[in-house]
Amino acid sequence: MLHDFIDWILATVHDWGYTGIFLLMALESTVLPVPSELVLIPAGYLAHQGQMNFGLIVLASTLGSLLGASFNYVVAMWLGRPFLERWGRWFFVRPELLRKTDVFFAKHGAVSTFTGRLIPGIRHLISIPAGLTRMNPAAFAFYTCLGAGLWSLILTLFGYFLGGNEALIREYQHFITAGVIAFVAFIIGAYVWWQRRRPA
């Protein structure tokens, strides 16, 4: 069954082109288990073969990610927030916790949204607290596109240069994750340093 699912993803990228990438990345940015690696690495290889345009792959992926993330954002804002305000105490989410989350995202929502888009397992969830705290929609869209665009660029480049060699992909794929996490750690560290140096 898993093999069939992977074959379906690959066929969608190949047959539907940029539309398939857009839709699959939109699904990946909600809560559905569509691995972005299986979408963008093959697409990058198709770009290497001259069958697709590299820039349009990254653009379709970024816009699809924004659509899926915006869906989570809107649902969290319009349904999740009222639900937690009324029933949250039954799920150990008290009003004080919501207020603290509001304050945190008001101060650090930009860097949280950007870096969250780069972390596996967090990437498709970061939109939920952004929606719950009613993060500025324009800022949310900008930093979502910034993070999603960078992630899309990395995977598409990986597919462009190594997509035809599955052995090399398996060998080096974990270096991508480690490198991105190290980059995120650097960004967060620089952000914390900058925050501490800012005048109160």
pLDDT in tens, 85-100: 776 566 555 667 677 7
**What's the pLDDT score for residue 132?**
85
- pLDDT of 76 higher than 80: yes
pLDDT in tens, 126-179: 888 898 888 899 999 999 999 999 999 988 988 888 766 666 556 656 666 676
Output the 3-class SS for the chain: CHHHHHHHHHHHHHHHHHHHHHHHHHHHCCCCCCCHHHHHHHHHHHHHCCCCCHHHHHHHHHHHHHHHHHHHHHHHHHHHHHHHHHHHHHHCCCHHHHHHHHHHHHHHHHHHHHHHCCCCCCCCCCHHHHHHCCCCHHHHHHHHHHHHHHHHHHHHHHHHHHCCCHHHHHHHHHHHHHHHHHHHHHHHHHHHHHHHHCCC
Quick one: pLDDT band at residue 2, thresholds 50, 70, 90? very low
**What's the pLDDT score for residue 199?**
63
- pLDDT of 65 higher than 60: yes
- pLDDT of 63 higher than 90: yes
Task: Give the residue extent of every domain in the chain.
Answer: 2-197
d(CA 49, CA 65) in angstroms, rounded, equals 25
Q: What is the mean pLDDT of the chain?
A: 80
**Cβ pair 118, 89 in contact under 8 A:** no
Calculate the alpha carbon distances from 117 to 32, 46, 151, 178 in Å: 15, 25, 8, 15
**What's the pLDDT score for residue 164?**
60
User: Taking the model in full, what pTM does it have?
Assistant: 0.81
Residue located via tokens 């990438």: 21
